[in-house]
Structure 1
Amino acid sequence: MTAATVATITGLRPDLIVVACFPWRLPVALLALPRFGAVNVHPSLLPVGRGPEPVFWTLRRGERQTGVTLHQIDAGFDTGPVLARATLPVPFGVRAPALEQQLMALGGDLLVDVLPRFEEGSIAPIPQDASAATVAPVPEAADWLVPTTLPAAWAYAFARGVAPLGGPLTLAVGATRRSYPIYDALAYTAAEPMTEPVVVERPGVIRVRFRPGWVRSRVG
């Protein structure tokens, strides 16, 4: 954040600062400025998913429930006391952008509900349980790998979910020591066996054996 931006916000003399999915630290001078402090709208159920990419990690970890947390901003990253939470089921096979849209809408509703409580004086911040915290960093190349040693249902849901994000999603077929860039996950079965580790069904489409089941993918 530039000095000019800090000066502009300071000049507004805000009662409250609200940010959403803000991946940088706010300067200490800004945190001390508003009488009601600063609040972040974070797309996970903190302390689970602290960090800049909670939606990716929700899908990577196969979590069945996520949500939005409103929390006070302190000197840490997503570590401040919780003001409110709202939960959201994670539909199987949901695309990351669709999940993000649902979380955005949920966060907006939560914010509208909570904001009047600052004036009412009924805000009751609850410290986060640091022992239950998980992190959601920017994913590295290894985090985009889809190993065939895992269940087909997980592989399908993860690959289908994060494919629209455009990262280096890669199918790692351990039995053949080959890898394939994945453009999308098309179908899966959790039980039907496969003899061969990989079957080319047509150009650009393969079926791969998992444990258990198989996944049909569009690959490069």
Structure 2
Amino acid sequence: MKIIFMGSAAFAVPSLMALAEAEHEIAEVVTQPDKPAGRGREITPCPIAAKARKMNLQLYQPKSVKKPEVISHFKERAPDLIAIVAYGKILPIELIEIPKFGCVNVHSSLLPKYRGAAPINWAIINGETETGVTTMRINEEMDAGEILLSCKTDIDDVEDAPMLHDRLAQMGSNLLVETISQIESGRIRPRNQDHTKATYAPMIRKEDGLIDWSMRAKDIYNRVRGFKPWPGAFTHLGGKSLRIHEAALTDLDFDAAPGEIIETDGALAVKCGSGVLYLIEVQLEGKKKMPAQDFLRGYKVKKGTILK
């Protein structure tokens, strides 16, 4: 099958590789333009652009997919199918209608749950114990097209967003190949989403990472896991930001104020609205991240200090 692959983020890399290994004809890889990145603001390709170049695939990087000349470019390529994985832009209907077998998207949730930009993060933040990947047909509404196939997986209690991201990226790549195989053979059976059960995973903002210590310890722990790698879960100590990279739950509880440090003798424990959270790895503003024990040796934190 002649396929145009559209993707940008690292989540899409396994899918591109899987299509190539399945010996599909990848007519072109469409991704976002190289952009300045890092402290030096050097022009840097997105993960898919870098991978496509290594694989010697034809690369197309339009600034917008809505321009008439871009639509004409797709029509000239005449793909049988367009595969979209973490591309990062909404497609116009003029583009969606071009391929014979439609546009197939890999989404990192079990639709209709967690439509939107950050399904992996919000599934962990909300304490879900199960998630998965879904292939669907693209339509004009965000993540609302017909479901083609889906695959479930459990979320481990200690799994954070980057870990789950990598697992789902691999699952998604396998599901995409199977979906295309079933489309080719006529075995695919699309089904409509139940829109009444739709939930949303909005784009994450920096301020979302600020910890509210009045929450349950379990909920704060989920936010530490879910807000990786950005913006991270953070609080304030002595007027400076303190990022919490790793934390652990405990069965202990104390009569103290939310956010109060209740133990500093070799461990950094904080009272929450309900329960206690141990801070395992932290990073004070302007410093490197380090184990909490090392942090306590260099930064004298008094028991009873309130994190805000």
TM-score class, shorter-chain normalisation, is 0.7 to 0.9
2:198 pairs with 127, 133, 143, which one?
133
Q: Which residue of 2 aligns with 1:201?
A: 264
1:116 Cα deviation (Å)?
1.5
How is 1:88-103 mapped onto 2 (pairs within 5 angstroms)? 88-103=153-168
Superposed CA deviations along residues 61-110 of structure 1, whole A, max 9, x for unmatched, are: 11111100100000011000100110011111212111101001101111
- Give the length in aligned residue pairs: 213
| 1:47 pairs with 2:112 | yes
Partner of 1:215: 277
SS in structure 1 of the partner of residue 179 of structure 2: helix
Other-structure match for 1:19: 84
- Residue identity matched to 1:12: R
Please give the TM-score of this superposition, normalised by the length of structure 1.
0.86
User: How far apart are 1:172 and its partner, in Å?
Assistant: 8.0
Distance, in Å, in 1 between the alignment partners of 2:198 and 2:224 is: 25
- Per the alignment, do residues 65 and 172 of structure 1 end up closer, same or farther by CA in structure 2, a change over 3 Å counting? farther
Q: Percent identity?
A: 28
Q: For 1:21-170, what aligned pairs fall within 5 Å after superposition?
A: 21-163=86-228, 165-167=229-231, 169-170=233-234
Matched residue, 1:183:
244
**2:71: which partner in 1?**
6
What secondary structure is seen at the aligned counterpart in 2 of 1:216? strand
| Secondary structure of residue in 2 paired with 1:159 | helix
Could you tell me which amino acid in structure 2 is paired with residue 30 of structure 1? L
Decide whether aligned partners of structure 1 residues 168 and 101 sit closer, same or farther in structure 2, where only a CA change above 3 A counts: closer
Q: Is the 8 A contact 2:215 2:273 kept in 1?
A: yes
Q: Conserved in 1, the CA contact under 8 Å of 2:104 and 2:135?
A: yes
1:106/1:26 CA distance change after superposition, 3 Å = same
For residue 153 of structure 1, report the CA deviation from its aligned partner: 2.5
Q: Give the counterpart letter for 1:39 in structure 2.
A: V
Aligned partner of residue 116 in structure 2, secondary structure: coil
TM-score for the superposition, normalised by structure 2: 0.63
Q: CA distance change for structure 1 residues 53 and 111 in 2, over 3 Å: closer, same or farther? A: same
Gaps of 5+ in 1: none
Cα distance in 2, alignment partners of residues 115 and 69 from structure 1: 13
Comparing 95-104 with 114-123, which one deviates more in the overlay? 114-123
SS in 2 for 1:66: strand
In the alignment, structure 2 segments of 5+ residues that lack a partner are 1-63, 285-308
